[in-house]
């Protein structure tokens, strides 16, 4: 019975089918190699249109038309170019390259084309967004005013980041750039922020380690990882950040807040340089093509804080740049510094001194973030900045110890404790109320009589005490977001009580 | 000078001339290319010349793939259709016999392909059924 039914159904289907003869424009591969193909014909191809290479076997390989020349099209191949032969047929699809987007992507590890690579099965989404999109205009935007807490004391206090901001993380290799970004993701737990980590040309082992760490800390529940590995073609590295941004834009259009991390844009520039040189575009400074600035500016400009009328969503971008031997005046670093709204500068000298995060407070800035800080934090952070600046000026004299006058010595001592407090281990982001409490204690001199080497222990116990005994004070800071007189009084009282219990040990 | 420019020059030299004149100027042209050490461009010049000639004379080349050799009546029909579609004066049809397409016809003009073959229809049907 079943068989007849199926046959009937099939018959009906086939009867309804009418093959139409339609004409289409096709091209022919004349040259292929290094992830680039040159195709003749295809007179109707559009710039950055998706093309299909029809091999004799299996799935067609995708490509993107990048160079439209007089009688040739230069195509960047996405996928295995080894399958493409000379004189293969190329069809245009009439579509701009796009990636699947949607809630289903959350918690997954995907390739830049949106294909799952975490072995958890196919991702079924109905929506897709083009990877290249013009950024929101002036009318659709709003100024940055909501904080995005990274959970790192030094950053949240002195280089605050707002939702919709673009803050560059820059530093040499092995200075903890990725650690800052991963901590920021972990701290978004329960903050209603969707995180997208885009790994560009990174080692697969590093990505695997990060994903495992995020999973361990329940951070994959709100995170998408987009990865183009070191062994993937340069074309995939090139589109990865745009794909990640498109996935973020979907959530932004839903009125949600998104944090996107591009790790890292130097490798992205290298990938684009490779593709450009193979397409025979003329090389410029450091052999980068002429549009390398636009490459990054159009990507980072897509981070935005949308106005209420547009849903109020935002994309915060944390691009990462790796410098060579601390040279921030190289081509790509200066480009990205000028595009972003500030930079977090990490130094290897500080890192080896044991100051982690190895943040250079003098060179790091945030151009818009201070308007996004909560009032309580603003109040304690202003004093903190001053203390640190004075300390840096006087640090050289520190070795003269006893010859210094009282106030200078006090400033140096305060500075040493400040540096100590700003140290923070990886994977232990701190809530903003705890940050305010400890920084308040520091800037108001409650730590001056604690020995420098005991400061970190003192802090650890302090947070425990506040959590166990004085959670009402923390709650008050969180709720009021301001150090009003009574909040300040309660906080002072709590600190004094703690000092009595704990002593100065 | 590029191959294209040479081809254009060759066309200009020979256009509207008598046979003996063409013979003379073609020989001159060949000598010139030889002297300029551009013989390696010869292949490309021929190709470009063909294109320029066809464009100027409003001739179009079409490739017709059929399962069996095309008949005269059919060829005329095809020619007429292409002449009308591309508004050209003359159509040169090259017939390729490929039993693999099973039936119908595939017409290729420039980079435009019209697939009216049985194989193409079957592929379409396959796509629909898979969906």
User: What are the sequence ranges of the domains in chain B?
Assistant: 3-56, 59-130
Give which of A168, A188, A162, A156 is closest to A378, Cα–Cα.
A156
Contacts of A257 (CB under 8 A, 6+ apart): A146, A148, A163, A191, A192, A193, A194, A313, A314, A316
Tokens of A126: 């109905």
| B48-61 confidence digits (pLDDT tens) | 888 888 888 888 88
Q: Do B125 and A14 touch (CB under 8 A)?
A: yes
| Residue A23 to residue B111, Cβ atoms within 8 A | no
Distance CA A66, CA A242 (A): 15
Q: Does B59 touch chain A (CB under 8 A)?
A: no
Predicted local distance difference test score (pLDDT) of residue A1: 64
Angle among Cα A486, A491, A496 to the nearest 5 degrees reads 125
Report whether A64 contacts A48 (CB < 8 A). yes
B-proximal residues of A, 32-61, CB under 8 Å:
40-43
pLDDT at residue A489, as a whole number: 93
Give dist(CA A223, CA A185) in Å, integer.
8
Looking at the predicted structure, is the pLDDT value of residue A19 above 80? no
Residue A392 corresponds to which tokens in the numbers above? 């840096």
Q: Do the strands A168-171 and A314-322 form a parallel or antiparallel pair, or are they unpaired?
A: parallel
pLDDT at A504 over 70: no
CB pair distance less than 8 Å for A10 and B129: yes
Say which of A10, A17, A26 has its CB closest to residue B111. A26
Residues of A in contact with B130 (CB under 8 A): none
Chain B contacts of A39, Cβ < 8 Å? Answer: none
Cα distance between residue A488 and residue A447, in whole Å: 17
**Chain mean pLDDT for chain A:** 92
ipTM for the complex? Answer: 0.73
Q: How confident is the model at residue A494 (pLDDT cuts 50, 70, 90)?
A: very high
Token readout for A455 is 């400061």
Look up A367 and say whether it is catalytic: yes
pLDDT score for A293: 97
State the first-to-last Cα distance of chain B, in angstroms, to the nearest integer: 54
Whether the model pTM is above 0.90: no
Q: E strands along A5-48, which residues? A: 23-33, 36-41
Q: Helix, strand, or coil here: A75?
A: strand
Q: What is the average pLDDT across A139-163? A: 94
Inter-chain touch A25–B116, beta carbons under 8 Å: no
Residues B12-29 have a mean pLDDT of 87
Cα radius of gyration rounded to whole Å, chain B: 20
DSSP B71: P
Q: What are phi and psi of A293, to 5 degrees?
A: -70, -45
pLDDT in tens, A286-329: 999 999 999 999 999 999 999 999 999 999 999 999 999 999 99
Amino acid A505: pLDDT? 52
Alpha-carbon gap, residue B8 to B2, rounded angstroms: 10
Most confident stretch, A163-167, A445-449, A477-481, A501-505: A163-167
Burial class (CB in 10 A: 0-12, 13-18, 19+), A132: middle
Interchain CB contact of A22 with B (< 8 Å):
yes
- Cα separation, A308 vs A376, whole angstroms: 26
Round to whole Å and give the CA distance between A436 and A446: 14
Choosing from A173, A209, A285, A367, the catalytic residue is A367
pLDDT-derived band at A393, boundaries 50, 70, 90: confident
Residues linked to residue A318 through DSSP beta bridges, in sequence order: A261
Report the C-alpha gap between A148 and A429 in whole angstroms: 13
pLDDT at residue number A350: 93
- β-pair partners for A427: none
Return the pLDDT at B57. 87
Q: How many C-beta atoms lie closer than 10 Å to residue A210's C-beta?
A: 24
CA angle, residues B77, B83, B84, in degrees to nearest 5: 95
Q: What is the pLDDT of residue A211?
A: 96
CA A182/CA A197 separation, integer angstroms: 9
């Amino acid at each position: 019975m079943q068989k007849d039914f199926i046959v009937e159904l099939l018959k009906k289907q086939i009867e309804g089918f009418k093959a139409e003869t339609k004409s289409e424009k096709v091209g022919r591969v004349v040259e292929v190699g290094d992830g680039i193909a040159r195709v003749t014909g295809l007179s109707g191809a559009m710039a950055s249109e998706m093309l299909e290479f029809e091999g004799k076997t299996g799935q067609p390989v995708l490509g993107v038309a990048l160079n439209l020349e007089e009688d040739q099209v230069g195509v960047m191949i996405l996928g295995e170019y080894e399958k493409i032969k000379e004189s293969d047929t190329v069809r245009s699809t009439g579509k701009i390259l796009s990636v699947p987007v949607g809630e289903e992507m959350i918690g997954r590890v995907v390739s830049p084309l949106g294909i799952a690579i975490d072995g958890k099965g196919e991702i079924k989404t109905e929506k897709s967004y083009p990877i290249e999109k013009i950024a929101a205009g002036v009318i659709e935007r709003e100024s940055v005013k909501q904080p995005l807490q990274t959970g790192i004391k030094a950053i949240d206090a002195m280089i605050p980041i707002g939702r919709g901001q673009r803050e560059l993380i820059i530093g040499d290799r092995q200075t903890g750039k990725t650690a800052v970004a991963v901590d920021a993701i972990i701290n978004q737990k329960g903050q209603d922020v969707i995180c997208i980590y885009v790994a560009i040309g990174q080692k697969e082992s590093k990505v695997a380690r990060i994903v495992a760490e995020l999973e361990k800390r329940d951070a994959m529940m709100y995170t998408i990882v987009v990865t183009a590995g070191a062994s993937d073609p340069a074309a995939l590295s090139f589109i990865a950040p745009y794909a990640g941004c498109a996935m973020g834009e979907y959530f932004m259009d839903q009125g949600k807040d998104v944090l996107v991390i591009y790790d890292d844009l130097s490798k992205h520039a290298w990938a684009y340089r490779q593709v450009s040189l193979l397409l025979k575009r003329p090389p410029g400074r450091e052999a980068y093509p002429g549009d390398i600035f636009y490459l990054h500016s159009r990507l980072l400009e897509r981070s935005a804080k949308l106005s209420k009328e547009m849903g109020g969503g935002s994309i915060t971008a944390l691009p990462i740049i790796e410098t060579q031997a601390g040279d921030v005046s190289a081509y790509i670093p200066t480009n990205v510094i000028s595009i972003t709204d500030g930079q977090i500068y990490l130094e290897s000298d500080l890192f080896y001194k044991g100051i982690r995060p190895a943040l250079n407070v003098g060179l790091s800035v945030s151009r818009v973030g201070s308007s996004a800080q909560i009032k309580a934090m603003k109040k304690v952070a202003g004093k903190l900045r001053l203390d640190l600046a004075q300390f840096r000026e006087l640090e050289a004299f520190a070795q003269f110890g006893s010859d210094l006058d009282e106030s200078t010595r006090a400033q140096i001592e305060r500075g040493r404790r400040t540096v100590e407090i700003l140290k923070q281990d990886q994977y232990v982001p701190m809530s903003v109320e705890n940050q305010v409490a400890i920084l308040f204690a520091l800037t108001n001199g409650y730590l001056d009589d604690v020995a420098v080497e005991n400061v970190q222990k003192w802090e650890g116990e302090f947070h425990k005490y506040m959590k166990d005994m004085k959670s009402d004070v923390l709650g008050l800071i969180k709720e009021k977001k301001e150090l009003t007189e009574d909040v300040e009084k309660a906080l002072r009282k709590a600190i004094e009580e703690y000092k009595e219990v704990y002593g100065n040990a | 000078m590029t191959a294209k420019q040479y081809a254009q020059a060759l066309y200009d030299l020979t256009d509207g001339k008598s046979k003996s004149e063409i013979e003379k100027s073609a020989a001159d042209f060949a000598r010139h290319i030889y002297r300029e050490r551009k013989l390696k461009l010869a292949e490309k010049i021929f190709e470009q010349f063909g294109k320029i000639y066809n464009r100027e004379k409003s001739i179009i080349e079409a490739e017709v793939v059929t399962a069996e050799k095309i008949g005269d009546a059919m060829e005329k029909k095809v020619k007429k259709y292409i002449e009308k579609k591309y508004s050209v004066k003359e159509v040169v049809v090259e017939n390729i016999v490929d039993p693999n397409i099973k039936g119908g016809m595939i017409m290729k003009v420039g980079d435009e392909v019209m697939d009216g073959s049985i194989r193409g229809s079957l592929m379409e049907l396959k796509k629909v059924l898979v969906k």
